[in-house]
Amino acid sequence: MTTPALSQDRRAATVRPAARRRTSWLGSAILLLGAVYCLLPIAWVVAASTKNGSDLFTSFTFAPGTGFGENLGDLSANGGGIYWRWLLNTALYAGVGGLLSALVSGISGYTLATYRFAGRNAIFNVLLAGVLVPGVTLAIPQYLLLAKVGLTDTYWSVLLPQIISPYGIYLARIYAAAAVPDTVVEAARTDGAGEFRIFARVALPMMVPGLVTVFLFQFVAIWNNFLLPFIMLSTDDRFPVTVGLFTLLNQGATVPALYSQVIIGSLLSIVPLIALFLTLQRYWRTDLISGAVKG
Amino acid sequence: MSTPATGRRRKGTVPRGVPYLFLTPAILLFTLFLLLPIGYAVYLSFRRIKVSGLGLGKGSRTEIWAGFDNYARALGDPELLGSAGRVLAYGLVLLPVMLGLALLFALLLDAPRVRFGRFAKLAIFLPYAVPGVIASMLWGFLYLPAVSPFNDVADALGLPGPDPLNGGSVFFAIVNIAVWGGVGFNMIVLFTSLRAVPGEIYESAQLDGASDLQIALRIKIPLLLPSLIMTMVFSLIATLQVFTEPLTIRSLTNSISSSWTPLMKVYRDAFSQNDIYSAAASSVVIALVTLVLSFGFLRLVSRQAFGGENR
């Protein structure tokens, strides 16, 4: 980055301190409008989840109803509590997938950042090009290939393809380059530590903040992924919550009573993710995502 | 770290195979779930089924080489072209609005005299945690005239209520869902890049008498260019693959066809019509267009997007 040539205009060199203190109400108002826009559907789903089927279409949108418990009971009763199974499945796909993805990204990023070896750049560039491959268009050939080996409609079919994350490897490499000094690796090596031991005991702990970001990233990506499980799975026992609610919504077109279940189901599915977000907020290394991390 | 070195190797040297060993999981998974599917899709796109006789019984349907037939059909298919045009228009509306808002919010968050920054940052980032399916459901219900607060407001004012799910406005209804879901994440990326800029630059600009607006336009935006390019490329890739939102909204309206976006058509061809060959050809075309557009864009604007790391 080059520092831009600064203003030619040196006439008004006096800074008015009073002006600095004043709140910019226009700017604040625009930000608040943005916040309202983003919170609107969430506020709505909170209100709507308390309404029973008839209130939903008759009472004022944001007025609370009295049907929360009833809706929750209906949702839990549907299909023998299959909704909770979906939620559990989602946690499994996203949790295990995110963890494995962070580990694979971590060791790959560390290797690409600290070792010099033949083919390093070629391997990195091929992996990096994977960032640009439209992930979703891969889902159909992935389905056909997994169908050949009889793995479709299993947990594996959703879990395995999402462990590899070119973007995660890219982030881990940047982070390793910035956070693991060559001198430390060198010192451990002189002490006689094996290469894997150096990675696991020395580099990995140093990379934890970066890997938390990779984990969260992949966790959200898997939680949000719809097409892959939608294609791969046909048994509703194995659905993640997104696919489950989608099928429920489709049935709702003929049985409007199901809409109340879809609404409370949507609310319950975003609550854990929002909670995770708020608690892990400070561990997010967002500078990593923006490429602004300092080496 | 006091374990003695094992084997014959000298202290401080790396056995040659180690980096490759460490990269094995990544390379294996990358091959199995990226390269192989791509290769398989390309292979399938050149195949077709030959039916002999009545097409009944075993052996009457054989897979044969098709040359460029599938591609010719895909590129000449008015449905695919129509959906491609729709997605292009969708991107032309979505990208400037979403990234423009993200930039505006990021600059406001970074501006010295703006309040409510912490609250707004969190609120605007929150939709990132909401999956596309769920976001589409929430907005879908908000679009339903019987449920929508916008209609309540319009009623109170004596105006005709909006009906975003019907007719051409469904296009903007979908754009809105994507803007809602994407603006916060891009805002955070841009905001974080702004925070990485050393404060002295702004101080000297202030001493030169630059206003906050001038600092934003003349200094901050140029400094943000690499991040803007990166967010643009990722948004572009996501845009061309739009699938979840229109598919979900489809459950609530008749205004969305089963081939509304290219990926929806690919999905329908492969799974409803069992024509995996033409689906494969279409997905190869989509992937190529995505690659050409994103690489082309990167080339066009600069080489800064991936920073100095890519060496």
**ipTM, interface predicted TM-score of the complex:** 0.86
Smallest Cα distance from A86 to chain B, Å: 14
To test the contact with chain A by mutation, choose from B192, B302, B310 the residue with the greatest count of A C-beta atoms within 10 A, namely: B192
pLDDT computed for residue A218 by the predictor: 92
- Cβ atoms of B19 and A120 closer than 8 Å: yes
Separate counts of helices (H) and strands (E) for chain A: 16, 0
Instruction: Summarize pLDDT for A31-77 with one digit per residue, the tens.
Output: 999 999 999 999 999 998 888 777 777 777 777 777 888 889 888 88
Tell me which residue of A160, A12, A269 sits closest to B33, measured CA to CA: A160
Give the whole-angstrom CA distance, residue A245 versus residue B137. 9
pLDDT computed for residue A98 by the predictor: 96
- Whether residue A27 and residue B309 make contact (CB cut-off 8 A), yes or no, is no
- Cβ atoms of B191 and A256 closer than 8 Å: no
Q: CA neighbours within 13 Å on the CB side: how many for B306?
A: 20
Q: Which residues of B touch A245 (CB under 8 A)?
A: 133-134, 137
| Confidence class for position A6, pLDDT limits 50, 70, 90 | very low
| Confidence class for position A136, pLDDT limits 50, 70, 90 | low
To test the contact with chain B by mutation, choose from A31, A124, A149 the residue with the greatest count of B C-beta atoms within 10 A, namely: A31
Give the whole-angstrom CA distance, residue B289 versus residue B80. 13
Enumerate residues 6+ apart whose C-beta is below 8 A from B212. Answer: A24, B111, B112, B113
pLDDT computed for residue B55 by the predictor: 63
Q: Which residues of B touch A204 (CB under 8 A)?
A: none
- Count A/B contacts: CB-CB distance under 8 Å: 344
Token readout for B92 is: 């032309």
pLDDT computed for residue B298 by the predictor: 80
Give the whole-angstrom CA distance, residue A134 versus residue A132. 6
Per residue of chain B (311 residues), give pLDDT as tens: 444 444 444 555 777 889 999 999 999 999 999 999 999 999 999 988 887 766 666 667 788 888 888 999 888 999 999 999 999 999 999 999 999 999 999 999 988 888 888 899 999 999 998 999 999 999 999 998 877 777 777 777 877 777 888 888 999 999 999 999 999 999 999 998 888 888 888 888 888 888 888 888 888 898 888 889 889 988 988 888 899 999 999 988 889 999 999 999 999 998 888 888 989 999 899 888 888 888 888 887 755 544 444 43
The DSSP 8-state label assigned to residue A134 in this structure reads: -
Is the pLDDT score of A290 beyond 70? Answer: no
DSSP character string of chain A: -PPPPP-S--TT----HHHHHS--HHHHHHHHHHHHHHHHHHHHHHHHTTS-HHHHHHS-TTS--S-HHHHHHHHHHGGGTHHHHHHHHHHHHHHHHHHHHHHHHHHHHHHHHH---TTHHHHHHHHHHHHHS-GGGGHHHHHHHHHHTT-TTSHHHHHGGGT--HHHHHHHHHHHHHHS-HHHHHHHHHTT--HHHIIIIIIHHHHHHHHHHHHHHHHHHHHH--HHHHHH---GGG--HHHHHHHHHHHHTT-TTHHHHHHHHHHHHHHHHHHHHHHHGGG--HHHHTT----
pLDDT computed for residue A173 by the predictor: 93
- Whether residue B251 and residue A174 make contact (CB cut-off 8 A), yes or no, is no
Residues present in chain B in total: 311
* Interface check B91 vs A, CB under 8 A: no
Task: Supply the pTM of this predicted model.
Answer: 0.87
The DSSP 8-state label assigned to residue A136 in this structure reads: G
Q: Which residues of A touch B109 (CB under 8 A)?
A: 31
pLDDT computed for residue B166 by the predictor: 84
Question: Topology of domain A81-251, per CATH?
Answer: MetI-like fold (1.10.3720)
Instruction: Read off the pLDDT of each residue in A75-86 and give the average, rounded to a whole number.
Output: 91
Token readout for A122 is: 């070629």
- Closest-CA residue of A relative to B245 is A226
Q: Which of B27, B120, B279 sits opposite A31 (nearest CB)?
A: B120
Q: Which residue did the predictor score with more confidence, B142 or A16?
A: B142
- Closest-CA residue of B relative to A172 is B309
Give the whole-angstrom CA distance, residue A38 versus residue B187. 13
Burial of B203: CB neighbours in 10 Å, binned 0-12, 13-18, 19+: exposed
Between CA A293 and CA B4, with CA B1 as vertex, the angle to 5 degrees is 135
Tell me whether strands B47-51 and B61-65 are parallel, antiparallel or unpaired: antiparallel
pLDDT computed for residue B309 by the predictor: 44
Burial of B4: CB neighbours in 10 Å, binned 0-12, 13-18, 19+: exposed
Helix A25-48 × helix B78-110 angle, to 10°: 120
Smallest Cα distance from A80 to chain B, Å: 22
- Whether residue A226 and residue B214 make contact (CB cut-off 8 A), yes or no, is no
Residue B296 CB: number of other CB atoms within 10 A? 10
- Cβ atoms of B154 and B162 closer than 8 Å: yes
pLDDT computed for residue B7 by the predictor: 45
- Cβ atoms of A177 and B309 closer than 8 Å: yes
Helix A258-280 × helix A68-77 angle, to 10°: 100
Q: Which helix (H) or strand (E) holds B63?
A: strand B61-65
- Closest-CA residue of A relative to B9 is A192
pLDDT computed for residue A293 by the predictor: 58
pLDDT computed for residue B218 by the predictor: 85
Is the pLDDT score of A10 beyond 60? Answer: no
Q: Which of B12, B132, B207 sits opposite A190 (nearest CB)?
A: B12
> What b/e readout covers B22-41, taking b as 16+ CB neighbours within 10 angstroms?
bbebbbebbebbbeebbebb
pLDDT computed for residue A272 by the predictor: 87
- Cβ atoms of B229 and B304 closer than 8 Å: yes
Phi-psi region of B211 (alpha: psi -120 to 50; beta: other; left: phi over 0): beta
* φ, ψ dihedrals at A237, nearest 5°: -60, -25
